[in-house]
Amino acid sequence: ELQNTLDPLAHQPTAEIKTLLVKKYRSSDYAAKARARIREISGIEGLVIEKKHSGEAKWLTQLSTLTNRSFVNMSRDLGYYWLRIAIYVALSICVGSIFFDVGTNYNSILARGACGGFISGFMTFMSIGGFPSFIEELKVFYRERRNGHYGVAVYILSNFLSSFPFLTVMSLSTAAITYYMVKFHPGISHFMYVSLDLISSIATVESCMMMIASLVPNFMMGVIIGAGYIGLLMMTAGYFRLLPDLPKIFWRYPVSYINYGAWALQGAYKNDMVGLEFDGFIPGGPKLKGDVVLTSMLGIHLDHSKWWDLAAVIMILIAYRLLFFIILKFKERVSPLFRTLYTWRTLQHMKKRPSFRKSSAFPSKRHQVLHSLSSQEGLNSPIH
């Protein structure tokens, strides 16, 4: 009783106590200091600029984080790139030893063409070996994308940036071994073109494989479809069948024009043979210029430079990445609709099952329908 007498707020309602505390705080020194600090912070002009560019910084942070994480995963996974690099080096040594110092005699023309066709065809075809890693990476992307952690464009760009160092090592090692063992056209610019052509081709195949991985439901179907598609591109690249000899309908137009292998092989042939002279078919006869060999024997037109061929490969690479972006965005928009349709069809099928019916389809003598007692008035009882 003594404590209740000394406490003036003991018998007041809670609402009145809160109102009194608010009034006391508004007239206190703490409130005055808080208002002054708020005015001081609001007067800083730099905050407006930071707020304006906060979205851009966030996007760059996402890109940096995803690139670093993807690079670490690729480095730790031996089957992603390290094993492929080792196989590329081993195959390059084999190719270099088979076509060692091919020379410039008449028979070396077809040998150079075969070597270039193998490098631009089969070497890029081996990029399909990274398909399992693509599938696992897409699973992580789908889960994190549903949670809203980052966008599709950031993921695609970070994937390319993180894989680019490995592609560079793979291409430079292959180009260095084959270029100097086979003794292609000498010159640093020719060597750089071989490296850039190989980097672009491998990156294009990987982009194609990622696009296929986003469309197929499992790993096996992806490998089958990817191998078939790359094999189709190899057949129309211009080595197994010369480009002028391809059927005009479909195979020549438009398949060979959207085929990265056709442009890459044309650029490789031009890079190697333009400027060289080969021995004629008859010993001691006139020399054959590389330009003549390209146009007459290999069916390569010289109406544009080899750098345009490289630019075409890069454009196809960008087109594959854009298609990959469109596919992911389309699946993101359409997936809820398909899930709703699938749920509706499942419910319709479940309603047709006997266990989900409200009334039995076949009347049973053992299990009679129960009636309330009030509805049974006047019925004869078996007891009476």
Model pLDDT for residues 140-177, shown as the tens digit of each residue: 999 998 888 889 999 999 999 999 999 999 999 999 99
Determine how many CB atoms are found less than 10 A away from the CB of residue 361. Answer: 6
> Which pLDDT score, from 0 to 100, does residue 124 have?
85
Give me the mean pLDDT over the 214-243 stretch. Answer: 90
Q: What is the C-alpha to C-alpha distance for residues 23 and 181, in angstroms, rounded to an integer? A: 89
Tokens of residue 242, six digits: 């010369």
Tokens of residue 102, six digits: 């091919």
Read off the pLDDT band of 15 (50, 70, 90).
confident
Q: Would the pLDDT of 384 be above 80? A: no
Read off the pLDDT band of 259 (50, 70, 90).
very high
Give me the mean pLDDT over the 181-197 stretch. Answer: 93
> Which pLDDT score, from 0 to 100, does residue 131 have?
85
Q: Give a yes or no: residue 116 inside a domain.
A: yes
Give me the mean pLDDT over the 329-346 stretch. Answer: 83
Range of the domain at 63: 55-341
Instruction: Tell me the CA distances in angstroms from 213 to 163, 206, 232, 293, one per residue in order.
Output: 17, 10, 18, 40
Q: Give a yes or no: residue 34 inside a domain.
A: no
Within 77-100, residue ranges assigned H as helices are: 83-98
SS3 111: helix
Give me the mean pLDDT over the 39-61 stretch. Answer: 63
Q: Give a yes or no: residue 12 inside a domain.
A: no
How do the residues of the chain divide into helix, strand and coil, expressed in percent and rounded to 5? 70, 0, 25
**Which of 233, 232, 174 has the alpha carbon at shortest distance from 199?**
174
Q: Would the pLDDT of 369 be above 80? A: no
Q: Give a yes or no: residue 274 inside a domain.
A: yes
The number of folded domains in the chain is 1
> Which pLDDT score, from 0 to 100, does residue 55 have?
45
> Across all residues in the chain, what is the average pLDDT?
85
Q: Which amino acid does the sequence have at 20?
A: L
Q: Give a yes or no: residue 18 inside a domain.
A: no
Kindly report the pTM of this predicted structure.
0.74
Give me the mean pLDDT over the 228-252 stretch. Answer: 91
Read off the pLDDT band of 280 (50, 70, 90).
confident
> Which pLDDT score, from 0 to 100, does residue 8 have?
65
Q: Would the pLDDT of 345 be above 90? A: no
Q: Give a yes or no: residue 380 inside a domain.
A: no
* Percentage, residues of the chain above pLDDT 70: 85
Q: Would the pLDDT of 381 be above 80? A: no
